[in-house]
């Protein structure tokens, strides 16, 4: 009777739906309903981060690691100690920001961010403002709050910085994504000798570009993509305007070693994108943080406009540079690594437009491929008007063959005659003759071999004769692009760490794919 009465009382209490995260301040038990007698779902550990779904009296419904949801006691979280929504820390207002923020890309537990504030403490440096701005960029890239780690001050001695990068490397699973933001003073010795690029740590030691590249190489070997912003200067010219400070120093120990390496050296991994604030030596900050970070945030929030509607690295650089050109100082951004990578693939800057939009979108999808993967395609001759392709990859996957039309995307494989996209290496597939007899010869086809299956229904593909096609409008192009770039967006894939998934489930949640362009010879085209 007592249990029933308590349950009835709890159910009768008004529920408050809310969003955000909370920190578990003491161990508790995740329960099926808001009652101390309810079935136990799992244990939640102290200092773990949970997503708050609902508040009901003294109980909170949360979602914890591994997509486990249930109820814990309210006093086991820091929910009541958090500031009211209107008093939460926000990125400082900036004249560079004017457009409303776009919806963030869906968060995934496989996305990680490391925000390092090595600038001097305020008022000399603006590390707190940079951290807020960089945190917003990370959110727009789909990094969950629990996966955003921020370090500053005494934690970033030379040894501390090395440890932070090593810890990120340890957290990254196969095909995870990593975003690193570094706000620092660039450093060179007082002498005129050329020492290459370096960052000044909290204990006034140089962290050389050569050493940074060793960490980036290790991350890139395992991650799907790595994005790095270095908001630091590389020289003393030009001079800062009033109210600005140049992020650069020559105050180095006399025995500082010279590596001669630069941040944007040649031969960077194809899955790495690097934006440098001090492209022409100087990089400035004001009371709102680094100017480059402010400009990039404005572009991430929707002010960038690319030809496809998707903001790749070059689009973001050009957008941010346009903002900086309107400010005094003449600061110049540099882009290194792969400029075609899209940091936030589902945060559209604009709608794809123009007759060439389908082709440009296929090119954007192709640019996000994992070029470490092998994909060989051999056209085979047939006499029945169909086209045959022998596909040889370095691993099994799911095969999709796309062609750009004037106003839509056509899916040639799978098709009604071969509906199963699963493919083993060395398999031969057939593309039937189209109903309208339009030849495939001399037309570019994009072949994708994905780790995980793509949903054709979710991608907006509808039957169209022997094949399938998107809606002939912007909505159709966006749905298809989001499906091929986003992969499985189920709760399990969004909220589970890659390290906690088995090999098979990790493949189902992977967004990685191999891709290759082919053009069928005339003798292989459907007649």
User: Distance (Å, rounded) from C-alpha 237 to C-alpha 235?
Assistant: 6
Structure tokens at 418: 């071969």
Beta-strand (E) ranges in 167-220? 177-183, 186-187, 198-200, 206-208
Identify the pLDDT of residue 480.
95
Closest CA to 236 of 280, 293, 192: 280
Beta-strand (E) ranges in 153-234? 177-183, 186-187, 198-200, 206-208, 225-231
Q: How far is CA 33 from CA 7, 58, 61, 465, in A?
A: 9, 12, 8, 51
3-state secondary structure of 26: coil
Does residue 381 register a pLDDT over 90?
no
Helix (H) or strand (E) holding 158: helix 158-171
Q: What are the extents of the domains in the chain?
A: 2-85, 109-337, 357-524
Same fold? 2-85, 109-337: no
Strands 248-249 and 186-187, sheet pairing: parallel
CATH of 2-85, one of 2.40.50.100, 2.30.30.40, 4.10.320.10, 3.40.190.10: 2.30.30.40
What contacts 84, CB < 8 A, 6 or more positions away? none
Kindly report the pTM of this predicted structure.
0.79
DSSP state of 133: H
Closest CA to 364 of 404, 420, 400: 404
Helix (H) or strand (E) holding 15: strand 15-17
Structure tokens at 307: 């030809």
**Lowest-confidence region among 225-229, 262-266, 362-366:** 262-266
Q: How far is CA 248 from CA 185, 198, 348, in A?
A: 5, 10, 35
pLDDT tier for residue 524 given thresholds of 50, 70 and 90: very low
Does residue 413 register a pLDDT over 90?
yes
Neighbours of 176 (CB within 10 A): 23
pLDDT tier for residue 91 given thresholds of 50, 70 and 90: very low
Closest CA to 428 of 464, 461, 399, 462: 399
User: Distance (Å, rounded) from C-alpha 395 to C-alpha 447?
Assistant: 15
Sign of the four-CA dihedral 514, 501, 343, 52:
positive
pLDDT in tens, 461-502: 999 888 999 999 899 999 999 999 998 888 888 888 887 788
Identify the pLDDT of residue 23.
85
382 or 460, which is more confident? 460
Residues above pLDDT 70, as percent of the chain? 82
**Lowest-confidence region among 15-19, 168-172, 371-375:** 15-19
pLDDT in tens, 332-378: 999 999 999 999 988 887 888 888 999 999 999 999 999 999 999 98
User: Distance (Å, rounded) from C-alpha 267 to C-alpha 245?
Assistant: 32
In words, the CATH class of domain 109-337 is: alpha beta
């Amino acid at each position: 009777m007592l249990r029933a009465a308590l349950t009835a009382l709890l159910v009768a209490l008004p529920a408050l739906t809310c969003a955000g995260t909370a920190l578990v301040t003491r161990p508790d038990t995740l329960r099926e309903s808001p009652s101390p007698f309810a079935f136990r779902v799992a244990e939640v550990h102290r200092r773990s981060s949970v997503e708050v779904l609902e508040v009901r009296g003294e109980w909170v419904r949360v979602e914890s690691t591994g997509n486990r949801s249930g109820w814990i006691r309210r006093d086991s979280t820091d929910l009541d100690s958090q500031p009211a929504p209107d008093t939460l820390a926000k990125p400082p207002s900036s004249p560079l920001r004017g457009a409303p923020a776009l919806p963030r890309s869906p968060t995934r537990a496989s996305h990680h961010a490391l925000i390092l504030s090595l600038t001097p403490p305020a008022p000399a440096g603006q590390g707190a403002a940079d951290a807020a701005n960089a945190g917003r960029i990370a959110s727009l890239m789909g990094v969950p709050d629990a996966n955003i780690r921020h370090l500053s001050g005494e934690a970033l001695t030379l040894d501390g910085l090395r440890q932070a990068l090593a810890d990120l490397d340890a957290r990254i699973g196969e095909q995870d994504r990593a975003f690193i933001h570094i706000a620092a003073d660039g450093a060179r010795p007082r002498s005129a000798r050329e020492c290459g690029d370096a960052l000044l740590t909290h204990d006034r030691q140089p962290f050389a570009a050569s050493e940074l590249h060793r960490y980036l190489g290790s991350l890139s070997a395992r991650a799907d993509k790595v994005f790095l912003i270095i908001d630091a200067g590389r020289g003393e010219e030009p001079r800062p305007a009033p109210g600005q400070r140049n992020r650069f120093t020559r105050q180095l120990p006399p025995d500082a070693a010279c590596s001669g390496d630069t941040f944007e050296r040649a031969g960077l991994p194809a899955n790495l994108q690097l934006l440098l604030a001090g492209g022409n030596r100087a990089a400035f900050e004001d009371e709102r943080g680094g100017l480059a970070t402010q400009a990039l945030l404005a572009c991430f929030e929707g002010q960038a406009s690319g030809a496809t509607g998707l903001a790749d690295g070059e689009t973001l650089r050009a957008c941010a540079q346009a903002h900086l050109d309107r400010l005094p100082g003449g600061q110049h951004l540099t882009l290194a690594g792969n400029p075609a990578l899209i940091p936030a693939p589902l945060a559209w800057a604009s709608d794809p437009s123009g007759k060439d939009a389908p082709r440009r979108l296929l090119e954007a999808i192709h640019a996000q491929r994992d070029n470490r993967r092998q994909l060989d395609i051999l056209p085979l001759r047939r006499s029945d008007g169909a086209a045959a392709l022998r596909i040889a990859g370095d691993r099994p996957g799911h095969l999709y063959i796309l062609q750009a039309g004037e106003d839509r995307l056509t899916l040639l494989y799978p098709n009604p005659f071969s509906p199963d996209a699963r493919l083993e290496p060395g398999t031969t597939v057939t593309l039937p003759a189209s109903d309208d007899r339009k030849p495939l010869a001399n037309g570019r086809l994009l072949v994708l071999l994905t780790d995980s299956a793509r949903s054709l229904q979710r991608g907006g593909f509808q039957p169209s004769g022997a094949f399938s096609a998107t809606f002939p409008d912007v909505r159709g192009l966006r749905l298809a692009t989001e499906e091929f770039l986003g992969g499985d967006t189920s709760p399990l894939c969004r909220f589970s760490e890659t390290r906690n998934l088995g090999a098979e489930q990790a493949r189902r949640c992977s967004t990685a794919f191999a891709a290759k362009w082919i053009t069928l010879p005339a003798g292989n085209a459907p007649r």
